[in-house]
Amino acid sequence: MRIGVLTSGGDAPGMNAAIRAAVRQADALGHEAWGIRQGFQGVLEKDWAPMPTRACANILQRGGTVLHTARCPEFLEIHRRADAAANLREAGIQALVIIGGDGSFRGAEALQREQGILCAGIPGTIDNDLPGTDRTLGFDTALNTAVEAIDRIRDTASAHGRLFLVEVMGRSSGMLAVHTALACGAEAVLYPESPDDSYQALVARLHANWLRGKRSSIVVVAEGDDLGNAMVVGARLRRDYGLDLRVVVLGHIQRGGSPSALDRIWGSRWGAEAVRRLAAGEGGFYLGEVAGALAVQPLARILDPRPAPPGDMGELVDILSR
């Protein structure tokens, strides 16, 4: 059996662990693994080659993805997915391991449903916003990167008695923002799923802190918050209240760096499990983790609503920052 492996969408630490596991599990079962570069764009352009097991040496600890990644708007078109399937069949690639997030899984679901190409998904996104899994590759690493950065910002915030707004990634999900805020002891957090009165609640919290003698504060802001990103919120606070504040946008440093042990372990488990199931003739699924156990979900579940951060965590950020 010839199995293609690709990474798609935004990169996430742990993708290389999943690639390595998929390739080496395929080899152990007597199958061929082919690396597809640039995600679905590589399928359309036939940008692939056999990937022997030794090609995966010394990639486990590396961030990013050795197969490179891209976003492919063309893949939204049904006739281009038909072209992709024809290219795969011509190359003798019978199944795909797709490592990516929501958009990647939607493409995989359509490809299997329309064209019958066996597809297995491995959740790779630092947003941790896929239904049916408690964990996605890269989230743990990105969380620890953000917390380490904010710990450093806390030092200078305390030294100057200053308010810092720190923006983390999360265009449509507050998972990373809420977990970061709780882990670093932030005074407040703003994220897409925040209550409608979140700005007023933020102002009230900062005012209460000031009356209690607290002169420095950290507010974590998700880039996709309904109020706007950290720059927008900061400008509003300056305009409304004349606050002396600084804005720090962590940006893409959250994506990079060596993956954490958890991201390496789950990438390895999922990569191997995906190949084992494809080799047994199974397709149309993605893997995840639920309550600590490896879980298997139908690809159609990617059409379900995105999970929101646990409601108690936002409340806990407020309680513990008093």
- Domains of the chain (ranges; CATH) run 2-138+259-303 (3.40.50.450), 139-255 (3.40.50.460)
For residue 316, the one-letter residue type is: L
Residue 287 CA to residue 120 CA, distance in Å, equals 8
Among 11, 27, 102, 127, the active-site one is 127
Whole-number percent of the chain with pLDDT over 70: 100
Active site residue 83: no
Q: Contacts for 195-202 with beta carbons within 8 Å, 24 or more apart?
A: 198/225, 198/226, 198/227, 199/227, 199/233, 199/236, 201/318
* Residue 209 neighbours by CB distance under 10 Å: 18
C-alpha–C-alpha distance, residues 1 and 68, integer Å: 24
Can you give the pTM of this predicted structure?
0.95
Residue 65 near residue 11 (C-beta atoms within 8 A): yes
Torsion angle of C-alpha atoms 56, 68, 170, 167, degrees rounded to 10: 90
Beta-ladder partners of 120: 97, 285
| Closest to 317 in 3D by CA, of 213, 197, 217, 192 | 217
The confidence score (pLDDT) of residue 227 equals 85
Q: What tens digit of pLDDT does each residue of 138-168 get?
A: 999 999 999 999 999 999 999 999 999 999 9
Contact in structure between 170 and 189 (CB atoms under 8 Å): no
User: What is the arithmetic mean of pLDDT over 3-31?
Assistant: 97
pLDDT(280) > 90: yes
What separation, in Å, do the N-terminal and C-terminal C-alpha atoms of the chain show?
59
